[in-house]
Amino acid sequence: MNPAPQSVDFFGLPIEFAEIVSYLQKSLQLKEVCQQILYRRIIERVARERGLTVEAEEIQAELERQRRDRDLEMDADLLTWLTDRLLDRETWEASIRDRLLAEKLNQRLFSIEVERFFNQHPSEFERVLLYRIVVSSAAEALEILYRLQEGQISFYEAAHFYDISEQRRLQCGYEGRIYRSQLQPDIAAIVFSGAVGQALGPLQTDTGYCLLLVEEFFSAQLTSERFQEILERLFQRWLALELSSMLQSDS
């Protein structure tokens, strides 16, 4: 039996496993990597208990889909892509199998729970088309608010001229379609109790004093995208609880 390798071959330059672990520790990534490894153990165990498997045909279909998506239909292109990622075909297929198994288990455990979760937490999935102005002082924010209320300047003009962020200035304050859950609870309460076109604030934040403008509200809808988002959230929460139980039982 050949001894297990002790290093990674990085295009001809060996990197010892111990050095990789040391780097992960120093960059504060080791905990997350270990957590993901243990999550994989949990998925394998529970999938086995529930009789879930991934067939070779499923792996092959996903492999071919990825090749098409990445324009890797020529074997030489695929080999170059794998080599550039320090992969061989066997390891790539194993990674596809792991992901498909996780997806199957996720569907088995939580697909029937998604709609109930959505109905129990509808406010989390409300959205708003939001604009924001952030300035460095409360006095400046109040002055801008006064000018907005008097119609001396539009919100978009004020954002373009006065925001401390160059990106928001260029975008005239545009923040995009934001989920309620993405906002701080106190700010979310103010935004969703306001009216369309009404300047809100000033509000003190970690980055300065902000004024907000709602251009449109969007009610919560269980789209296919939201379904997958909730499904993944439930799965990750379950994995964390399973890992916590493992750690407690071993302590």
pTM (two decimals): 0.78
pLDDT at site 240: 97
Residue 231 has a pLDDT of 97
Mean pLDDT across the stretch 98-103? 98
Residues in the chain, total: 251
Residue 50, SS3 per DSSP: coil
pLDDT band at 5 (very low <50, low <70, confident <90, very high): confident
- Overall average pLDDT of the 52-72 stretch: 96
Percent of the chain with pLDDT over 90: 87
Give residue 249's pLDDT.
83
Q: Of the candidates 207, 163, 210, which has an alpha carbon nearest to the alpha carbon of residue 191?
A: 210
Structure tokens at 108: 């088995």
Average pLDDT value for the chain = 94
pLDDT at 181: 85
**Percentage of the chain with pLDDT > 70?**
98
Q: Is the pLDDT of residue 123 over 90?
A: no
**Cβ atoms < 10 Å from Cβ of 5:** 9
| Predicted confidence (pLDDT) at residue 168 exceeds the cutoff of 70 | yes
Spatial distance between the Cα atoms of 85 and 250, rounded to a whole number of angstroms: 36
Are 191 and 183 in contact, with CB atoms under 8 Å apart?
yes
Instruction: Check if the beta carbon of residue 115 is closer than 8 Å to that of residue 125.
Output: no
Stretch 101-130: mean pLDDT: 94
**What does the pLDDT read at residue 1?**
58
Q: For residue 113, give the 3-state DSSP assignment.
A: coil
pLDDT of 30 strictly over 90: yes
- Residue 251 pLDDT greater than 70, yes or no: no
Question: What is the mean predicted confidence (pLDDT) over 108-121?
Answer: 95
pLDDT-derived band at 2 (thresholds 50, 70, 90) equals low
What does the domain layout of the chain look like in residue ranges? 7-110, 114-120+222-250, 127-218
pLDDT reading at 216 higher than 90:
yes
pLDDT score, position 124: 85
Token reading at 35: 């957590």
Please name the residue that has the structure tokens 């750690």: 247
The overall longest dimension of the chain from CA atoms, in Å, is 82
Our CA angle for 47, 53, 54, nearest 5°, is 130
What CATH number does the domain located at 127-218 have? Answer: 3.10.50.40
